[in-house]
Amino acid sequence: MAWIWFHKLGSPPHFYRLAGRMTPWFAWPALLLCLGGLYGGLVSAPADYQQGEGFRIIYVHAPAAWLSVMIYSAMAVYAAVGRIWRINVCHALAASCAGIGASFTLVALVTGSLWGRPMWGTYWEWDPRLTSELVLLFLYLGYMGLRSAIDDTARADRASAVLAIVGAVNVPIIHYSVTWWNSLHQAPSVMKFGKSSMPASMLIPLLMMLLGFTLFFVAIMLVRARGEVLRRERGAQWVAEAAVEA
């Protein structure tokens, strides 16, 4: 049964219609969670006893950093599934992830630099976490550049899938860099085993932002994936029928 559902989801017209119905179910909760998280983090949460008001950048930086890694992982999985089972919808999902992931990675790097200036005395340091995050941005850009450089969609799917899969080796490096090497970057305070070291007044808004950003990503990915599916299937009969229905 699950195998039948899996192949049905790989049908472009089925995915296109399902994604259109599902997008609002991710977009509206994302908006509400982000608004609540921003209010809780920027207004209600107390100032940090060490970093003062400057710590509040964490409510944008941490979710962006989390998504930069999570989106690349999803992109690599989609690319691998598309490569192995030749499911074009998965290649469309992988392609849709790249631009979003690159944007969140850039936000994570910029906000991290702004945070690092008062904490470390410099905007940039070749710290293991920062360096591996910069490599992640280059992987996203390389994936998008490779796709755009190949005119044939099938060849672009195959080549970019290999790059995405190989580049996934950087994901655990980013995650464990603060424990494997001496790092200026602070150790995990939320995504770790055991109880979080953050008080609830700071932690709850951060968790709201993490979930809100994640749902926002899913909503935007579905919108972009629908456009990518239409581009790939523009000559198909179902696309003409969908245009008439719209």
pLDDT digits (tens, 9 = 90+) for 20-49: 999 999 999 999 999 999 999 999 998 887
Q: Are 104 and 228 in contact (CB under 8 A)?
A: no
Residue 178: predicted pLDDT:
75
Residue 96: inside a domain, yes or no?
A: yes
SS3 percent helix, strand, coil of the chain, rounded to 5, is 80, 0, 20
Q: Per the structure block, which two tokens stand in for 152?
A: 């044939």
Q: Is 13 among the domain residues? A: no
Q: What is the mean pLDDT of residues 104-132?
A: 89
Q: What is the pLDDT of residue 198?
A: 80
Who has greater pLDDT, 82 or 177? 82
Q: What is the pLDDT of residue 118?
A: 83
CA distances from 182 to 58, 127, 178, 179 (A): 22, 8, 7, 7
pTM metric for this prediction: 0.92
> What is the predicted pLDDT for the residue at 244?
75
Q: How many domains does the chain divide into?
A: 1
Residue 140: inside a domain, yes or no? yes
64, part of any domain? yes
**pLDDT over threshold 80, residue 17:** yes
Query: Of 49-58, 100-109, 168-177, 190-199, which gets the smallest average pLDDT?
Result: 190-199
Nearest to 214 by CA among 243, 191, 189, 187: 191
- Domain-located, residue 3: no
Q: How many other CB atoms are there within 10 angstroms of residue 151's CB atom?
A: 7
Say how far apart CA 86 and CA 79 lie, in whole Å: 10
Q: Which domain holds residue 157?
A: 22-41+54-189+197-236
Q: What is the mean pLDDT of residues 140-158?
A: 97
Q: Is 208 helix (H, G, I), strand (E, B) or coil?
A: helix
pLDDT above 70 for 194? no
- What the block records as the tokens of 112 is 């991290």
Q: What is the mean pLDDT of the chain?
A: 89
Q: Which residue has the higher pLDDT, 178 or 184?
A: 178
